[in-house]
Amino acid sequence: MSRENLLHLFKDCTLARMLWYGSKWVIRVDQFSGGEIAKDFFLWLLNQVQPSDKDDFICLTTCICDTIWKARNNSIFRNGKADPDRLRIESHNAYVGMCQRREKGFVKINTDAPLVVGNCGTAAILRDEEGSVLLLSFKSDYANSPLKVECETILLALNIALENGWNKVIIESGASLVVQSLRSGKRPPEWESFALFSSIVVNLCCSFQSISFDFTPRQVNVRYGS
Protein backbone atom coordinates (compact mmCIF):
# COMPACT_ATOMS: atom_id res chain seq x y z
CA MET A 1 0.00 0.00 0.00
CA SER A 2 1.46 3.38 -0.97
CA ARG A 3 2.00 6.21 1.46
CA GLU A 4 -0.63 8.26 -0.32
CA ASN A 5 -3.15 5.47 0.24
CA LEU A 6 -2.17 5.28 3.90
CA LEU A 7 -2.88 8.99 4.20
CA HIS A 8 -6.32 8.42 2.73
CA LEU A 9 -6.94 5.48 5.06
CA PHE A 10 -5.99 7.26 8.28
CA LYS A 11 -7.22 10.75 7.39
CA ASP A 12 -9.66 11.01 4.49
CA CYS A 13 -11.97 8.02 4.76
CA THR A 14 -15.31 8.57 6.49
CA LEU A 15 -14.48 6.30 9.43
CA ALA A 16 -11.16 8.05 10.07
CA ARG A 17 -12.73 11.52 10.04
CA MET A 18 -15.44 10.37 12.43
CA LEU A 19 -13.00 8.77 14.89
CA TRP A 20 -10.69 11.79 15.00
CA TYR A 21 -13.58 14.22 15.42
CA GLY A 22 -15.30 11.96 17.96
CA SER A 23 -12.23 11.77 20.17
CA LYS A 24 -11.91 13.87 23.32
CA TRP A 25 -9.67 16.33 21.42
CA VAL A 26 -12.27 16.78 18.64
CA ILE A 27 -9.71 16.83 15.82
CA ARG A 28 -10.89 18.15 12.43
CA VAL A 29 -8.56 16.37 10.05
CA ASP A 30 -9.97 18.28 7.08
CA GLN A 31 -7.91 21.23 8.34
CA PHE A 32 -4.67 19.39 7.55
CA SER A 33 -2.97 20.71 4.43
CA GLY A 34 0.69 20.21 5.24
CA GLY A 35 1.74 17.38 2.97
CA GLU A 36 0.86 14.32 0.96
CA ILE A 37 2.34 11.53 3.07
CA ALA A 38 1.11 9.92 6.28
CA LYS A 39 4.20 11.03 8.25
CA ASP A 40 3.32 14.70 7.66
CA PHE A 41 -0.21 14.06 8.86
CA PHE A 42 0.86 12.40 12.11
CA LEU A 43 3.36 15.18 12.85
CA TRP A 44 0.54 17.68 12.28
CA LEU A 45 -1.68 15.72 14.67
CA LEU A 46 0.87 15.98 17.48
CA ASN A 47 0.86 19.75 17.12
CA GLN A 48 -2.90 19.89 17.74
CA VAL A 49 -2.56 19.14 21.46
CA GLN A 50 -0.75 20.67 24.41
CA PRO A 51 2.69 19.22 25.25
CA SER A 52 1.31 17.89 28.54
CA ASP A 53 -1.31 15.90 26.60
CA LYS A 54 1.02 14.28 24.08
CA ASP A 55 1.50 10.97 25.93
CA ASP A 56 -2.26 10.48 26.15
CA PHE A 57 -2.70 11.64 22.57
CA ILE A 58 -0.16 9.10 21.29
CA CYS A 59 -2.20 6.40 23.06
CA LEU A 60 -5.32 7.72 21.37
CA THR A 61 -3.63 7.83 17.96
CA THR A 62 -2.50 4.23 18.37
CA CYS A 63 -6.03 3.09 19.23
CA ILE A 64 -7.69 5.00 16.39
CA CYS A 65 -5.20 3.74 13.79
CA ASP A 66 -5.58 0.18 15.09
CA THR A 67 -9.37 0.47 14.85
CA ILE A 68 -9.17 1.81 11.28
CA TRP A 69 -6.69 -0.88 10.19
CA LYS A 70 -8.78 -3.71 11.63
CA ALA A 71 -11.93 -2.31 10.01
CA ARG A 72 -10.07 -2.11 6.69
CA ASN A 73 -8.90 -5.74 6.97
CA ASN A 74 -12.37 -6.89 7.98
CA SER A 75 -13.81 -5.17 4.91
CA ILE A 76 -11.21 -6.49 2.46
CA PHE A 77 -10.73 -10.05 3.69
CA ARG A 78 -14.10 -10.84 5.26
CA ASN A 79 -16.40 -8.54 3.30
CA GLY A 80 -17.52 -7.11 6.63
CA LYS A 81 -19.38 -3.84 7.10
CA ALA A 82 -18.19 -1.22 9.55
CA ASP A 83 -20.52 -0.03 12.30
CA PRO A 84 -19.23 3.51 12.99
CA ASP A 85 -20.81 3.88 16.43
CA ARG A 86 -19.54 0.48 17.60
CA LEU A 87 -16.04 1.19 16.29
CA ARG A 88 -15.97 4.58 17.99
CA ILE A 89 -16.88 2.98 21.31
CA GLU A 90 -14.30 0.21 20.83
CA SER A 91 -11.62 2.77 20.00
CA HIS A 92 -12.49 4.86 23.05
CA ASN A 93 -12.49 1.85 25.37
CA ALA A 94 -9.12 0.72 24.02
CA TYR A 95 -7.75 4.20 24.68
CA VAL A 96 -9.06 4.21 28.24
CA GLY A 97 -7.46 0.81 28.80
CA MET A 98 -4.08 2.06 27.58
CA CYS A 99 -4.02 5.16 29.76
CA GLN A 100 -2.91 3.46 32.94
CA ARG A 101 -0.65 6.28 34.03
CA ARG A 102 -3.47 7.96 35.93
CA GLU A 103 -2.52 8.34 39.56
CA LYS A 104 -4.18 6.22 42.24
CA GLY A 105 -7.22 7.42 44.08
CA PHE A 106 -8.98 9.32 41.31
CA VAL A 107 -12.75 9.44 40.80
CA LYS A 108 -14.17 9.40 37.28
CA ILE A 109 -17.42 11.30 36.77
CA ASN A 110 -19.57 10.80 33.68
CA THR A 111 -22.10 13.59 33.17
CA ASP A 112 -25.09 13.75 30.84
CA ALA A 113 -27.87 16.29 30.35
CA PRO A 114 -30.58 15.20 27.92
CA LEU A 115 -32.97 17.98 26.90
CA VAL A 116 -36.37 17.23 25.36
CA VAL A 117 -38.91 20.00 24.59
CA GLY A 118 -37.88 22.20 27.49
CA ASN A 119 -37.54 19.38 30.01
CA CYS A 120 -34.06 18.34 31.04
CA GLY A 121 -32.38 15.86 33.31
CA THR A 122 -28.94 16.33 34.84
CA ALA A 123 -27.14 13.11 35.68
CA ALA A 124 -23.76 12.30 37.17
CA ILE A 125 -22.26 8.86 37.75
CA LEU A 126 -19.21 8.73 40.00
CA ARG A 127 -16.85 5.73 39.91
CA ASP A 128 -13.57 4.86 41.58
CA GLU A 129 -10.42 3.85 39.70
CA GLU A 130 -11.62 0.23 39.56
CA GLY A 131 -14.89 1.23 37.90
CA SER A 132 -17.11 0.59 40.92
CA VAL A 133 -20.02 3.03 41.29
CA LEU A 134 -19.58 5.35 44.25
CA LEU A 135 -22.62 7.58 43.79
CA LEU A 136 -25.43 8.37 41.36
CA SER A 137 -27.09 11.77 41.11
CA PHE A 138 -30.04 12.80 38.97
CA LYS A 139 -32.49 15.68 38.95
CA SER A 140 -35.00 17.04 36.45
CA ASP A 141 -35.81 20.66 35.68
CA TYR A 142 -37.02 23.03 32.97
CA ALA A 143 -34.49 24.50 30.55
CA ASN A 144 -34.30 25.87 27.03
CA SER A 145 -30.53 25.87 26.48
CA PRO A 146 -28.69 22.55 25.98
CA LEU A 147 -25.36 24.28 26.57
CA LYS A 148 -26.49 25.79 29.86
CA VAL A 149 -27.80 22.42 31.07
CA GLU A 150 -24.49 20.71 30.23
CA CYS A 151 -22.62 23.40 32.17
CA GLU A 152 -24.90 23.07 35.19
CA THR A 153 -24.42 19.30 35.15
CA ILE A 154 -20.64 19.69 35.31
CA LEU A 155 -21.03 22.13 38.21
CA LEU A 156 -23.25 19.59 39.95
CA ALA A 157 -20.59 16.91 39.52
CA LEU A 158 -17.81 19.12 40.89
CA ASN A 159 -19.84 20.08 43.96
CA ILE A 160 -20.74 16.45 44.66
CA ALA A 161 -17.08 15.46 44.49
CA LEU A 162 -16.06 18.22 46.91
CA GLU A 163 -18.87 17.40 49.32
CA ASN A 164 -17.63 13.81 49.49
CA GLY A 165 -13.96 14.71 49.84
CA TRP A 166 -12.87 13.40 46.44
CA ASN A 167 -10.11 15.74 45.32
CA LYS A 168 -8.75 13.83 42.30
CA VAL A 169 -11.38 13.76 39.55
CA ILE A 170 -11.76 13.18 35.83
CA ILE A 171 -14.89 14.77 34.37
CA GLU A 172 -16.14 13.07 31.21
CA SER A 173 -18.87 14.91 29.30
CA GLY A 174 -20.55 14.35 25.95
CA ALA A 175 -20.67 18.12 25.37
CA SER A 176 -17.60 18.67 23.20
CA LEU A 177 -18.15 22.45 23.03
CA VAL A 178 -18.17 22.79 26.82
CA VAL A 179 -15.11 20.57 27.26
CA GLN A 180 -13.18 22.43 24.56
CA SER A 181 -14.09 25.75 26.16
CA LEU A 182 -13.01 24.65 29.64
CA ARG A 183 -9.72 23.33 28.32
CA SER A 184 -8.98 26.42 26.20
CA GLY A 185 -10.50 29.11 28.42
CA LYS A 186 -12.49 30.48 25.48
CA ARG A 187 -16.24 30.85 25.93
CA PRO A 188 -18.68 29.49 23.35
CA PRO A 189 -20.33 32.29 21.33
CA GLU A 190 -23.74 30.64 21.73
CA TRP A 191 -23.92 31.52 25.42
CA GLU A 192 -22.75 34.89 26.70
CA SER A 193 -23.02 33.76 30.33
CA PHE A 194 -20.31 31.12 29.86
CA ALA A 195 -17.76 33.56 31.29
CA LEU A 196 -19.56 33.39 34.66
CA PHE A 197 -19.75 29.60 34.51
CA SER A 198 -16.07 29.24 33.63
CA SER A 199 -15.02 31.55 36.46
CA ILE A 200 -17.01 29.43 38.93
CA VAL A 201 -15.37 26.27 37.59
CA VAL A 202 -11.90 27.82 37.79
CA ASN A 203 -12.52 28.72 41.44
CA LEU A 204 -13.79 25.21 42.18
CA CYS A 205 -10.82 23.63 40.42
CA CYS A 206 -8.50 25.27 42.94
CA SER A 207 -10.09 23.01 45.57
CA PHE A 208 -8.98 19.84 43.77
CA GLN A 209 -5.59 18.21 43.92
CA SER A 210 -6.02 16.93 40.36
CA ILE A 211 -8.76 17.58 37.80
CA SER A 212 -9.22 17.09 34.06
CA PHE A 213 -12.07 17.59 31.61
CA ASP A 214 -12.42 15.01 28.84
CA PHE A 215 -14.84 14.71 25.95
CA THR A 216 -16.55 11.32 25.75
CA PRO A 217 -18.91 10.53 22.84
CA ARG A 218 -22.49 10.42 24.07
CA GLN A 219 -22.86 6.79 23.00
CA VAL A 220 -20.00 5.89 25.34
CA ASN A 221 -21.50 7.92 28.18
CA VAL A 222 -24.80 6.10 27.69
CA ARG A 223 -23.01 2.75 27.94
CA TYR A 224 -21.29 3.85 31.15
CA GLY A 225 -24.65 4.79 32.56
CA SER A 226 -26.38 1.53 31.69
Q: Tens of pLDDT along 8-65?
A: 888 988 899 999 988 888 889 988 987 777 888 888 988 888 887 887 888 888 889 9
Q: Tens of pLDDT along 65-77?
A: 989 988 988 888 8
In angstroms, what CA-CA distances link 60 with 16, 23, 95, 163?
A: 13, 8, 5, 33
pLDDT of residue 115 exceeding 80, the answer is no
**Total H helices, total E strands in the chain:** 9, 6
Residue range 74-89: average pLDDT?
A: 84
pLDDT attached to residue 119: 66
Domains detected in the chain: 3-98 (no CATH), 107-225 (3.30.420.10)
CA 104 to chain centre: 21
Quickly state the pLDDT bin for 103 (edges 50, 70, 90).
low
pLDDT of residue 223 exceeding 60, the answer is no
Quickly state the pLDDT bin for 86 (edges 50, 70, 90).
confident
Bridge partner residues of 110 (DSSP): 125, 172
Q: What is the percent of the chain where pLDDT is above 90? A: 6
The answer to whether 99 and 59 have CB atoms below 8 angstroms apart is: yes
Supply the angle between the helices 146-163 and 194-205 in degrees, to the nearest 10: 20
pLDDT attached to residue 166: 92
- Cα–Cα distance between 25 and 44 in angstroms, integer? 14
Q: Tens of pLDDT along 157-182?
A: 899 999 999 998 988 887 777 787 77
